[in-house]
Amino acid sequence: MATTEQAQVFFYCTEQNNSPIESFMVEHKIWHIQKGFILFYENGKTYRADAGQTILLRRNQLVKASLMDSENGGKFEMVKILLTRDFLTSLLLEDPNAAATNSDTSKEYKERFLIAKNDLMSGFFESLKPYINSGQNIPGQLSTNKTKEIFLLLEILWPGIKKSLFDFTEPVKLELGEFMSKNYIYNITLERIAYLSGRSLATFKRDFKKIFNLPPHKWLMKERLEEARRLIFDEKQPPSSIYLQVGFTNLSHFSTVFKKYYGFNASSEKIPM
């Protein structure tokens, strides 16, 4: 992996194909795919974003994805831009109306990630190419100015999006059963899971035991393996294509755990009687 950090603007490329990403978004991020494509996994479905497309990932979201090389063999490349809380706060200090929107839309963007292709965005990232191609660092102030520019473009691409970008509130307490059923595939720490459910770790563990009558790690393993079994034997998907989707990071480890739990291989052609 080669990564160059420039204040707010990053250039990212992979040196191995099918590189997995599983992350909790501490800050808003903008990804623009230069080469290759990205597969996002959510609730048993796969979504694809291609070269030339821009993705917005907002804070306090969970993301599971694979960064894929181009089908012609070119290495995956993308530009990443952070919209940190400090950056957004500085915008408000410069202009108290920075969070205002000209849009009359009442739409709320609840998706974990937003994907679009737009000529204005393409032009913006084209302006970064001389720095990327030459390997030069983008000077700090210029990097900040470019981040301000793309921040304004986001409102054109997704009218009313400023409302969620300037929302600094912490997660509220959620109904734990529904929350876990939607998020068990994400392989993050219990501390992160507790935070997103609106609880301290101690409260999360106590509430979890009341609802599921199992410790969190045992319940998570059971749910992930049951979903894996469904995908393999009901939907006829190979283990190599689903282990990331259900919360495992290594195919070998997944295969070992699956066989230990069920008593037969995930690669079996049918469920043994």
What is the distance between the alpha carbons of residues 106 and 243, in angstroms, rounded to a whole number? Answer: 38
Check pLDDT > 50 for residue 7. no
- Token pair, residue 125, equals 């990232």
**Confidence (pTM):** 0.82
Residue 233 has a CB neighbour count (10 Å cut-off) of 14
Give per-residue pLDDT as tens, 8-20: 677 777 666 667 7
More confident of the two residues 245 and 174: 174
pLDDT of residue 116: 93
Per-state percent for the chain, helix, strand, coil, to nearest 5: 40, 20, 40
Amino acid occupying residue 253: H
Considering only the C-alpha atoms of the chain, give the largest distance between any 2 of them, rounded to a whole number of Å: 69
pLDDT of residue 9: 76
- Say which CATH topology domain 176-262 has: Arc Repressor Mutant, subunit A (1.10.10)
Nearest residue to 153 (alpha-carbon basis) of 67, 210, 65, 83:
83
Angle at 216 between CA 180 and CA 28, to 5 degrees: 50
- The residues with which 116 forms a beta bridge, in sequence order, are 54
DSSP 75: P
Check pLDDT > 50 for residue 4. no
CATH number listed for the domain at residues 2-165: 2.60.120.810
Quote the mean pLDDT of the chain. 87
Section 101-125 average pLDDT: 83
141 pLDDT band (50/70/90 cuts)?
confident
Least confident of 42-51, 64-73, 137-146, 176-185: 137-146
Give per-residue pLDDT as tens, 235-261: 899 998 888 889 888 899 999 999 999
Q: For the chain, what are the domain ranges?
A: 2-165, 176-262
76 in Cβ contact with 14 (< 8 Å): yes
pLDDT of residue 178: 94
